[in-house]
Amino acid sequence: MTSTAAAPPAGTASRRLRAAGWALHVYTASGAVLGLLAVVAAVDGRTADALWILLAALVVDGTDGTLARRLRVQETIRGFDGARLDDIVDYLTYVFVPVVLLWSGGYLPEGPWGAVLAAAPLLASCVQFCRTDAKTADHAFLGFPSYWNVVAFYAVVLGLGPAVTGAVLVVCSVLVFVPVHYIYPSRTPTARTLNLVLAGLWLVLYALVLLDMPSPSPVLLGLSLAYIAYYLVASLVLTLRRPRSG
């Protein structure tokens, strides 16, 4: 005599997936709350606290997409655009909050020039976030991917002056419109495992550098900058190796 374990009813499995999907959407939306907390910290002059909160937002953003695909939220939760939610939260934590941090922390020139420089990444990223080709078919970012949180991090830990920080903002704002294909660590298939490992190590280095503030280890800073250099070079190689149309 044989016996088989009864499978859970399909409806039960579906309800569990839907519940998990909604929990995941709340997890993604929590990035907006983290953005608010980071703004409050920045305005209060607690720059290091703001950077810690932005690190937490990076972790949320780096994990929610993979979880969404595993939970099949597009199939189980109809009528809710998780990608739009992700874009809203990303604009807050990758663009708006870092610019507030740079502005309130005195990392931009005073007066009208500071306002112009603060506006540049906000406007450039508004355009990028609305482009239908901002993420390419081969899972890369087209143009500088609005990593203003990374720019703000290095402006703070390297102690960049307002003129240097302003120049970086201008260059990166222009690069938003230059069709270089930047690696999307969790999705670009080329060297995906290596890119994920290195991105994870960079997050660890981010935390270690913050722990050492206000005098971070030159070795840790050098290692974190080495990843940035790798990311840029690998993105250029990815762009040059793409088949040309026509």
User: Does residue 198 belong to any structural domain of this protein?
Assistant: yes
Looking only at the bridges linking them, the beta strands covering 140-142 and 181-183 are: antiparallel
User: Does residue 5 belong to any structural domain of this protein?
Assistant: no
pLDDT at 74: 87
104 — pLDDT class (breaks 50, 70, 90) = very high
User: Does residue 206 belong to any structural domain of this protein?
Assistant: yes
pLDDT (mean) for 107-124: 97
User: Does residue 225 belong to any structural domain of this protein?
Assistant: yes
Q: What mean pLDDT value characterizes the chain?
A: 92
236 — pLDDT class (breaks 50, 70, 90) = very high
Helices (H), the chain: 10-43, 47-71, 73-76, 82-90, 97-104, 112-130, 148-157, 162-175, 192-212, 218-241
Quote the Cα angle for 191-196-197, to 5°: 100
Q: What percent of the chain has pLDDT over 90?
A: 83
How far is 214 from 209, CA to CA, in rounded Å?
9
User: Does residue 9 belong to any structural domain of this protein?
Assistant: no
Count of CA atoms in the C-beta half-sphere (13 A) of 223: 16
| Residue 215 · residue 159 · CB < 8 Å | no
User: Does residue 175 belong to any structural domain of this protein?
Assistant: yes
pLDDT at 1: 37
User: Does residue 36 belong to any structural domain of this protein?
Assistant: yes
pLDDT (mean) for 87-104: 98
Closest CA to 166 of 95, 127, 116: 116
Predicted confidence (pLDDT) per residue in 38-68, tens digit:
999 999 999 999 999 999 999 999 999 889 9
Structural domain tally of the chain?
Answer: 1
User: Does residue 6 belong to any structural domain of this protein?
Assistant: no
How far is 94 from 89, CA to CA, in rounded Å?
8
Q: What percent of the chain has pLDDT over 70?
A: 93
> Bigger pLDDT: 177 or 243?
177
3-state secondary structure of 135: strand
pLDDT (mean) for 71-94: 93
Instruction: Supply the range of the domain harboring residue 101.
Output: 15-241
Predicted confidence (pLDDT) per residue in 159-209, tens digit:
999 999 999 999 999 999 999 999 999 999 999 999 999 999 999 999 999
How far is 235 from 241, CA to CA, in rounded Å?
10
Q: Give pTM, 2 decimals.
A: 0.91
What's 209's domain CATH number?
1.20.120
